[in-house]
Amino acid sequence: MKVKYIDRGIGFRVKDTIYLNSALKQHPELHKAILRHEKRHTTGYAWSDVIMDVSNKELKDVKRDYYKFILKNPKSLYNFLPVIKIGKYWAIDLTLVAFYSIILAGGILLWILA
């Protein structure tokens, strides 16, 4: 498994490479928690990945640092896009795709019913 540092997002895993925001190096505890989380992901798309992202146990102890990091590093918000381009790859976050689809479907339903 390789770890590469980029200037956006927080942490992603694409196949056997983990991409971390280089600013995480200044936050050792958060860095450790994010890396641990990404390492636990499967290399593909599995239910266990979705469950992991929803429960997010690894980040429980560093939640404060996590949100502070997002506020201080606006580019980390890239992590909340369902699709992101990393190098020449497009990474799709199925959890977020499902999440936004539910919100969109709810919006359409409200619009139809109103």
- Residues near 73 by beta carbon (within 8 Å), at least 6 away in sequence: 21, 23
93-112 binders of Zn ion (CB under 5 A): none
Nearer residue to Zn ion within complex by CB, 19 or 27: 19
Segment contacting Zn ion by CB under 5 A, of 22-30, 49-57, 71-79, 81-89:
49-57
SS3 (DSSP) at 87 = coil
Q: Whose structure tokens read 């971390």? A: 20
Nearer residue to Zn ion within complex by CB, 51 or 105: 51
First to last CA, the chain: 51
Least distance to Zn ion from the beta carbon of 38, Å? 7
5-44 binders of Zn ion (CB under 5 A): none
Q: Which of 14, 35, 53, 82 binds Zn ion (CB under 5 A)?
A: 53
* Cβ(17)–Cβ(1) below 8 Å: yes
